[in-house]
Amino acid sequence: MMTLYTFGPAFGLPDMSPFVTKAEILLKMAGCDYQCQTGGYAKAPKGKLPYLLTEHAQIDDSTLIRFYLEQTLKIDFDAALSPAERGVSWAFEKMLEEHFYYISLRDRWAVDANFDKGPKKIFKRIPAFIRGLVIWKVRRKMNTKLHMQGIALHKEADITQLAKKDLDALSDFLADKNYLMGDQLCAADATVYAFMRSVLCPVFDSAAHQYALSKPNLVAYCERLSKKLYPEHKEALA
């Protein structure tokens, strides 16, 4: 049986990390026999989650997990797509992972109210006498990452505009389709669902959250995929 190392459900989400959720959906789509295991962060080969442990390999990135499943199981998550459609779906996936992700990361880690409601709770198991120092160090590291990527250098209004641009592009392209590329799930749906489910999480307030809520087709898309992929999760999106 494959083991997917995760952070675990939190804040009403299947996992606190959209990348973990993405990887688990790919396993579901592939029909794999797998289990989720928390507590593996300390041994994460690249210092991040998720990673997948199989009898023969250890795969340490959500996209590399996709490639591994396709190669070893001889499947193609995008079999129904034309070459042009494959390019479009890949572009949306990377828009979310390489751009929108940092807006969401900033909203949770750099905004005090959201940090206190969410990420701060991760540190509860750390002894109280050093907890404050650990939180300060980790948060400083996260803020440095956000500055190096560039999103933290922008004004609030500019960050909001960038988030809206991403959400507009996704909403306009999705239109009234069941899934990103039509009537069948493709690999990009794992990413789109994971990130939209995350931004719609009612625990965290932000301009991106409020704007995503104003897109009925994005909300309906998440509800549709939640029922299909995570029927055990009953939390509301708003």
Spans of all domains in the chain = 2-73, 83-229
DSSP H/E element including 221 = helix 216-229
Question: Which fold does the domain 2-73 belong to in CATH?
Answer: Glutaredoxin (3.40.30)
Structure tokens at 62: 């959500």
Distance between CA 14 and CA 125 in Å, rounded?
21
How far, in Å, are 23, 82, 154, 172 from residue 166 at the CA level? 22, 23, 16, 10
Structure tokens at 89: 């779906």
What is the per-residue pLDDT for 57? 93
Condensed to tens digits (0 to 9), the pLDDT of residues 107-124 reads 999 999 999 999 998 898
Architecture of domain 83-229: Up-down Bundle (1.20)
pTM (2 decimals)?
A: 0.94
Condensed to tens digits (0 to 9), the pLDDT of residues 180-217 reads 999 999 999 999 999 999 999 999 999 999 999 999 99
What is the band of 238 on the pLDDT scale with cuts at 50, 70, 90? very low
**If DSSP codes are grouped into helix, strand and coil, which group holds residue 37?**
strand
